[in-house]
Structure 1
Amino acid sequence: MKFSLQSVMPYMNMGGIQSLSSAKHGELCLFFCETLKEEITHIFHNLSAPKGTRLFFYPHYCTAGKFKNEHVETFFSEHMHPEKSGLLFGDKSLSKRDILPTNITSVGPDTCHALVAPIELIQDLASKGNYVIFPGWLLNWERYVTEMGLNPSVPTTFFSSSLRGIILLDTGLIAVSEDIIRSFEKFTGLPVTTLKTGTSYLTAIVKTEICNWRIKQINDLDEIRNQSPLQSYATQMAVISLISEVASVNEESEVISRIFIMFQSLFAPEKIEYLPYTSSGPEEIRIFPPGGSVPSSELLFIGLERDYYLLDDNHGFIISIRHKKMILGVLGIFGVSVPDRIREYLNLTLSMTSFLGLAINNSRLWGEIQKIKRELEDANDKLRDNNEDLLTLTLKLQASNQELITSRKKIEDSEEFIKTIVNSANIGIMVLDKDARVLFYNPEMERIFGLKFEPMKGKVVFEFFPHLDKNGTYPYFSKAVAGEKIVAPDLEMHFQSRDHSTWISSIFVPVYDKDLSIIGVTNYVFDITDRKESEQELMRAYEALKVSQNKLAILSSVTRHDILNKVMVIYGYSELLLATTTDEAEKKNLKNILTAGNDIKTLITFTKEYQELGMQKPVWMRIGEVMNRPSIKSILRGFELSVQEIPIEIYVDPMFEKVMYNLIDNSHRHGQEVSAITISAEQSGDDYRIVYADDGTGISEEEKNLIFKQGHGKNTGMGLFLIREILDITKISIRECGTPGKGATFEMLIPKDSWRRISQK
């Protein structure tokens, strides 16, 4: 950067030059797009801006389809006066419209986005079909798209027709909710991808431009005070030329080298030393010319405490170089060529310390900018390396997004349908929060309970239903809030709004949020009044039937008793006649009469047992307990019995004991050489199979399908028939599946509704 003649030097005064810090720069105004307001306000205290600098944020015009020049002119004219200086950051399109005041300079990158990230990265994102936005823009996207002539409430293809995605440059200062992001994605039909940038790059850019402005202010100073024109001109030209060399470089090490050369040219000292000072403390001393004597470190350290120090022999001096009271380093000049002019040299050097401090500070800022730039370039390189994957992923995301949009459309289209289903369901549905306040209540609930939803909305449900107190359904609600799914027992309730009792059954189910935390309870209520009334009617019919059966049983018992009495008379007289007669033909006839009488007695006994079938409700029984009953043990008579541990209970008629008794009796009568009986069980799909087996002679193939028929068999033919009839009451089937000659095997198949596992408790 070159300087004009009066850029750096105020007036020569008594052999010295006054400090540059006395120059007046005028008030500085900084203009930024309103979408960066939060970021600029946050970093302002780190910008090293001159005292009195003011911030302004112009309206966002980049996306406005109805841009008005007079509107822009009015905004800037209201905030700028001729005595002020203004810097416009980012939107250089405004300066190209020739409508900005002449005292506003457009600085920095061409676009606002390049203030936050390198222009190369922004251009690369744009070239791949991405629309770049700030958090401040996204928070107000509905206003901005409205200014573009679009309706924010109606999704558009304006963006998706030419773009692939939305990139959000996240500076880390504004929290944008997921709801806002989702609503903007729905509007544009494009996915939003977040790129974290921070504010370091923005801070460095703005700092640099402010520093450039201050240098320009120095360059524009045009007052020359009382001094010989020729002397002033010669002095200033020499110093300006040397300062220009210092200002033309960016690296700190190069700035220090140029400072060495400048003072070597001005004072021709024997040696120049510089002690850098950073936030970490003093660093290694630099010496000019290189390879000179040992550094004068003790003298240089004086500069850390004092602004300057004149050596006793007038051959040199020590000065501290500062920027805004922050010390940056200490400069030592030793062995000047003309000791008599040492104070003139000192004054000249003191007049330049502000600029030297600014130059060194700028070089350090430049170093920070370069570091940030390299980090961003590294990040950009990584982005490029992953570009193909990102592009593929973007295409997949676009396809998925399109599917999502279609799915959302279907969901939106079906909302009314679902609402209709819920409201027309013949199941009462009520949703409660964890405090039992009513959140939802469908029409079926209104019908069941006789209360409308609106008066109950947000109220505790137990205030409206005293029937649902702590002795009613409150414990079930509490268990559901604790995470259990509860099926409450049938409840009878009477409501004052009706003239009859209402029966309901109820289910309480916890409601979870996306983090699987319980946020409420859904209560499903079923009106079972009709069913209960039917059951009660059935129960009354059952009781009437039971009375009739009891009367019939009494009649049958009396009849059986009278028949058995008559049979005993026949049996007794036949025995007497058999004992007194000697005629063989008569004896044979009498024996036949006795046999017939015994058969009648057996049949009468069977009718008693058969009459008892179904007289009592089925019960749950365990096979092991049945086999330990006295009647079973009495008939085993020396058989070895092996009963497998069976982990289930079966639902059977109370006469199931007769089933096991008759099976053992059958082994006695027909098994011939039976010595062992085994009872085992196993699950077969949804059913359970119980197997009774003996080691006798077995049953022939032609007999297998006949033995369960009434009257078939060598004795009464009623034993296995009765077994089948008892089991059939609860839909249990039985068959013989043994191998003839190896023993009889009876398999009982228990359907899934007639068995249950034994509780561990």
Structure 2
Amino acid sequence: MAFGKKDKNENEPDTNNVDPSLRTHAEEQLARTKTNAPDFAGHTPEELIHELQVHQIELETQAEELRQAYRALEESRDKYLDLYEFAPLGYLTLSDKGIICEVNLTGAALLGFVRKDLIRARFSTFVTESDGDTWYRYFKKVQDLEGKQVCALSLMRGDGSVFPARLECIRIPGTRDGPPTVRVAVNDITDLRRAGDALRISNKKLNLLSGITRHDINNQLFTINAYLEIIRKNISDPSVQKDFARITAASDRMAKIILFTKEYEQVGAKDPAWQNCHFLVDRAARQADPGNVLVKNDLPAGLEIFADPLVAKVFYNLIDNAARHGGKITTIRFFFQEAGELCIIVCEDDGDGVAADEKELIFER
């Protein structure tokens, strides 16, 4: 009989590299869940070893699949982390008290601080004093309402400089793991403000030029009409009088075109707003003065549209054109009808209408 160190069987599990704490944890777990030992009767040692080896391979395969899934999750996390950190907008997470809990690199750069110095700081400290009340009301609105809320205000950087910002916030309900939070997206709209200011200045200059031009043309038209009237009174030939009438009508059309340019330059000059359609129709009917034509306003009193204030001119023109060119017209009616998700405002009348062969010419100059 030979004595000495026993050679290790290649089929025996290698326990040298196993963390002792893992084995202790496994033994404790086995003790807590221990059931009756399985019956190995009728199985040879070779069969049992074979089953253990198959089970070992199954466990190793599952472990490799878990490692691959973990690596894929890490890669996905890193990709979306980069998108979050280097997004063109500043992203912050605030507590329900307005304390900064998280901020991406863009947000830290916008506010002019190192990220670690922003954590646990109150967001309100970066709001300018003049917009403090606006921020307070807005933050309360975000917490009280569902969905995204938008606000524009001025923020102050760490160096004291101020920039206009657009904020989009949404409240995230609390869970068992934590209280509710508020997600904030901050966009520096300095360039947008500058472009808007430049556009307004440009429009102001163009409107000034067009106003002076209209004034000069109207003066010349007034002079032309005055001389035409003097000449007309000195000529008694009926055939010539008809020509004067045509000239005067052409002059009146020119005056109307010039007036239209004054109205058109106001398009977009004011921000769109919610407007009551029922009120707009009533006012247009009074201003247009359609004579004996009845204007029936069947629009609901609460029906509103979000549009340029000049939409009032649309209702006026509909009534005025129908009354002027409707022939034997007696009634103009406004009502609305639903078409799926759309609400359509309808204007109809019982007048003669436009001849079929002239309808294609309505929108031609």
- Deviation at residue 515 of structure 1 after TM alignment: 4.8
**Distance 1:666-1:436 versus aligned 2 partners, 3 A rule:** closer
Residue number in structure 2 paired with 1:664: 319
Query: What SS is found at the alignment partner of 1:610?
Result: helix
Deviations 1:201-232 (A, max 9, x none): xxxxxxxxxxxxxxxxxxxxxxxxxxxxxxxx
Residue number in structure 1 paired with 2:115: 453
Q: Are 2:246 and 1:595 aligned?
A: yes
Residue number in structure 2 paired with 1:692: 347
- Deviation at residue 428 of structure 1 after TM alignment: 0.7
Aligned AA for 2:244? I
- Deviation at residue 411 of structure 1 after TM alignment: 2.0
Query: What SS is found at the alignment partner of 1:612?
Result: helix
Length, aligned pairs only: 322
**Distance 1:159-1:529 versus aligned 2 partners, 3 A rule:** farther
Query: What SS is found at the alignment partner of 1:645?
Result: coil
Match of 1:568 among 204, 226, 237: 226
Match of 2:364 among 706, 709, 712: 709
Match of 1:648 among 304, 312, 326: 304
Check conservation: 1:642, 1:678, Cα contact below 8 A: yes
Query: What SS is found at the alignment partner of 2:264?
Result: coil
Query: What SS is found at the alignment partner of 2:344?
Result: strand
**Distance 1:489-1:550 versus aligned 2 partners, 3 A rule:** farther
Residue number in structure 2 paired with 1:682: 337
Query: What SS is found at the alignment partner of 2:361?
Result: coil
Counterpart Cα distance in 1 of 2:318 and 2:361: 16
Counterpart Cα distance in 2 of 1:634 and 1:536: 36
Check conservation: 1:674, 1:696, Cα contact below 8 A: yes
**Distance 1:487-1:416 versus aligned 2 partners, 3 A rule:** same
**Distance 1:653-1:561 versus aligned 2 partners, 3 A rule:** farther
Higher helix share: 2
Residue number in structure 1 paired with 2:279: 625
- Deviation at residue 467 of structure 1 after TM alignment: 3.4
Counterpart Cα distance in 2 of 1:528 and 1:634: 43
Counterpart Cα distance in 1 of 2:326 and 2:339: 28
Aligned AA for 1:524? A
Aligned AA for 2:164? W
**Distance 1:610-1:538 versus aligned 2 partners, 3 A rule:** closer
Q: Show the 5 A alignment for 1:389-400.
A: none
Deviations 1:443-488 (A, max 9, x none): 111211110012333x233486363785353444444455645534
Q: Percent identity?
A: 17
Aligned AA for 1:599? A
Residue number in structure 2 paired with 1:491: 153
Residue number in structure 2 paired with 1:611: 262
RMSD between superposed Cα atoms in Å: 3.9
Counterpart Cα distance in 2 of 1:513 and 1:433: 10
Match of 2:202 among 541, 552, 557: 541
Check conservation: 2:85, 2:104, Cα contact below 8 A: yes
User: Which of these two proteins has the greater Rg computed from alpha carbons?
Assistant: 1
Residue number in structure 1 paired with 2:190: 529
- Deviation at residue 683 of structure 1 after TM alignment: 4.6
- Deviation at residue 623 of structure 1 after TM alignment: 3.1
Check conservation: 2:127, 2:156, Cα contact below 8 A: no
Unaligned runs of 5+ in 1: 1-62, 67-90, 92-110, 127-156, 163-186, 191-401, 579-585, 711-761
Unaligned runs of 5+ in 2: 1-12, 17-26, 41-53
**Distance 1:454-1:648 versus aligned 2 partners, 3 A rule:** same
Counterpart Cα distance in 2 of 1:487 and 1:463: 17
**Distance 1:645-1:482 versus aligned 2 partners, 3 A rule:** closer
Aligned AA for 1:497? D
